[in-house]
Structure formats: structure tokens, C-alpha cells
Amino acid sequence: MTAGLSFLLLLAIGAPISFVLIGVALILIVAGGNAVLLDSFPQQLFAGIESYGLLALPLFILLGELMGAGGIGRRLLALAEAMMVPVRAGLAYVNLLANLMMAAVLGSTVAQLTVMSRLAVPEMERAGYPRDLATTVTAAGGLLAPVIPPSMNLIVYATVAQVPVADVFVAGIVPGLAMAAVFALIIAWLGWKHNLPRVPSQPARQRLRAAWRALPALVVPLVVVGSILTGVATPTESAAIASLAAVLIGMFVYRELCLADLPQVFVRTAVTSGAVLFLVAAAQIIGWVVTFAGLPAQAANWMQEVASSPLAFLILLNILLLLLGTVLEPIPAIILVAPVLLPVATDVYGIDPVTFGVILCLNLTLGLLTPPVGAGLYTASLLTGVSAERLSRLLVPFFAGVIAILAGMTVIAALNAG
């Protein structure tokens, strides 16, 4: 009870979530009379990020920065526009398609929203779209990043759960594509409701020119996805190779990146990576304290009493995650939940750990665009000037679509359990 009240109080006063998690961990240690844990507290804090798999995080953040600075993201957006047929709300579909391409490279909603808000929203405004609607479509497209490989959330889950990253990546492809398909249907409805403009038809020569210009940019997602799926490189190695490719393409092909830009790119990467990795370390501390206190066993006993089947367990899990996602970022939430509930899911209910991880990451993705902590929501609001409250209301249809996909995955996982 004391830890819970402290958690809410620290959140209410606006303390950084990393310090909130560390503070709550210390309170749990003192309240539980386990002061001996304080001796190994610093070592455990470091151990939270002492993982080769987590090295992929700063490398993919670097890749996102290089794509923005080198003009790769802009070429991918132009390609998506050239591929679109003249239909109502055509630029909204272009936005979604470009987000899908970006998601296959960046793996971070915040990085993706930063790039897309600067590129797509002004273009849609010039074409006659209301800014709030253009921002809504852009923010919704950002939900693809945590599910489509190489998702940072999937990397963190695979690291915590000790399952192959490649297996989790492959499992995330179908749900990610299903989300994109559902979002396309929602855009069609929005186009009819708001009478959104059609994208102008482009002549074949202009389409070919856009495809030719974007051909080098396509090397980056092909390197990431292809090297992982074929087993040529690990996710960490693929991020490093793709970053090198982005540097070469930005410098020597598009010539929008120069040596003088690299220090700023590295500084932004270091700042973002430091914040994310410290968050991971802080959340790992909570998992360590919770595990020491024996909460996984208590959770298993409670789940067995309340949930009589895998489906009932997964329904309870999804409700818990939806609530948790409103106050925690996905990465610390994954590190908090996975060590506690994964053993229950696999040992008690026979749920596949890879499927469990995809459900976990897909559910917590919604928290990126929900107040009070949604980083994606506030990033989109800050970059476009549309209020977070307005965005939250406009995003409701997209939330409903994700929940429908989540419900389908839950039923399938329950049927395959055992």
C-alpha cells in the first residue's frame, strides 16, 4: 500500500518515471525489511542494461536520426505518395504507408512521430486537411512502430523473457500488418465523413522518377528486415549495418548529410539512448525486488483461483495491461510485467512465450497515445500544436481497431494453449 501511494504521489508531482521506479523499489525494500538488498542495489541497476540484445536500442535510435538528417525518410514518403492511386483521403493512405515503411526501420514510436510529424503533417495541411486530423492519422501510424520489426519493445521483451529476438520479430509481422489494414479502413471512413481531398493522379514518368529516387532509401529497410529474417545478422548487427548504409546513402547518394552533421546526430542519439536505457535499468530494479518478494508465486496462485482457463487469464491480463499502459511507458511496463506473469502464462496455462510477448507489446502500445504518460501523444502534440485532449478524442476509432485485433489474438492464443 505504501509503495502504491508513493508511486501515485511521485507521478502526480511530475517526477521522471525512471526516478519514480527507483524510489518505489527502495520503498519496497525498506518496507519489506530486506535492507540487505541495498548492498547489491547498484550492481542490479547496472545489470538491468548489461545485455547484448539491448545494444540494438541505441543503434536503432541512431538509425532514425540518420534517416531524418540524410533525407531517407523524405524519399520514402515521396515514394508512398507516388504509389497511391487517386482516391479520397489519398494523402492519409500515403501517411499510413510511409509509417509502415518507417516502422520497418525505426522501431520507435517517438522517433517515427518526430520524422513523420515534420514531413507528413505540413504536406497534408497544404493539400487541405485539417491539422488535427492530419496529426491524428500520423499519430495512429506511429502505433505500428512498437509491433512491426525491429520494434524496441519486442527487443526488450525478448531480452527479459530469454526468447530469440528473431522469433518475436517474425510473430509481430502479421499483427502489425493487420493493424495497418484496419487503420486503412478507418481512414476510408474518415475520408467519407470529412470529405477529405483526393490525391492528385501522377503520370507514369513521375511515379518512376519517385521510385528511382527512393531506391537507395529502400536499401535501409531491406537491410534491417532481410538480414534478420534470413539469419545473416542479429537485430543488433542489422541496426549497425543499416546505420552505416544510412550514412553512406545520406552522404554520397542524396548528399544531404555531411561530416559536420554527425556530432549533432550522435549527441541526440546519446541523449535519447541514455534516457531509454536508464529507464530500462530502473524498471529492472522493480522486477528484481518484486521477484525477491515472491510476488510471481502469489500472482500464480491468485490467477489460478480467479482464471479457470487460458482465455480467462488472457482477458484479465489485457485489462491489467490497458490500465498499466495509461501510467507507464511500454518498456518499463514490459520489464515489470514479463518476469512476474510470464512464468504464470507458460507454466500454469501453457501459453506460448512468443505469443504472450506479442500480446503484451501490442496492448502496451496503446499507452503510447493515452494520457497521462503517453510519450507519443505528447510528442505529436508538441510538434504540431494540436492539443493532447483533442488528439485523444480523435484517436478513439484507431484505439477500437487495435483492441479488436488484440481480442482476436487473445482468442487464438487461448485456443493454442496447452
- The residue written with cell numbers 485532449 in the block is 389
* Spatial CB neighbours of 11, under 8 Å, sequence gap ≥ 6: 17, 20, 327, 372, 373
Binning pLDDT at 50, 70 and 90, where does residue 296 land? low
Tens digits of per-residue pLDDT, 316-335? Answer: 889 888 887 776 777 777 87
Task: For 157, list phi and psi in degrees, rounded to 5.
Answer: -60, -45
* Spatial CB neighbours of 163, under 8 Å, sequence gap ≥ 6: 157, 353, 354, 357
Contact present, 360 and 338 (Cβ < 8 Å): yes
What is the percentage of the chain residues whose pLDDT exceeds 70? 86
The residue-averaged pLDDT of 167-194 equals 90
The answer, yes or no, to whether residue 277 has pLDDT greater than 70, is yes
Sign for the pseudo-dihedral over CA of 274, 321, 172, 306 = positive
Q: Alpha-carbon distance 288 to 131, whole Å? A: 45
Which has the closest alpha carbon to 102: 116, 122, 92, 89? 116
The answer, yes or no, to whether residue 208 has pLDDT greater than 80, is yes
> Could you report how far apart the first and last alpha carbons of the chain are, in Å?
35
Helix (H) or strand (E) holding 218: helix 204-229
Which one of 35-49, 107-121, 264-278, 396-410 scores highest in mean pLDDT?
396-410
* Spatial CB neighbours of 148, under 8 Å, sequence gap ≥ 6: 100, 103, 104, 107, 172, 173, 176, 177
On whether the pTM is more than 0.75, the answer is: no
Which has the closest alpha carbon to 354: 362, 405, 61? 362
Question: CA-based angle 127:128:132, to the nearest 5?
Answer: 115
Mean of the per-residue pLDDT values of the chain: 81
Q: Alpha-carbon distance 214 to 222, whole Å? A: 13
Contact present, 115 and 379 (Cβ < 8 Å): no
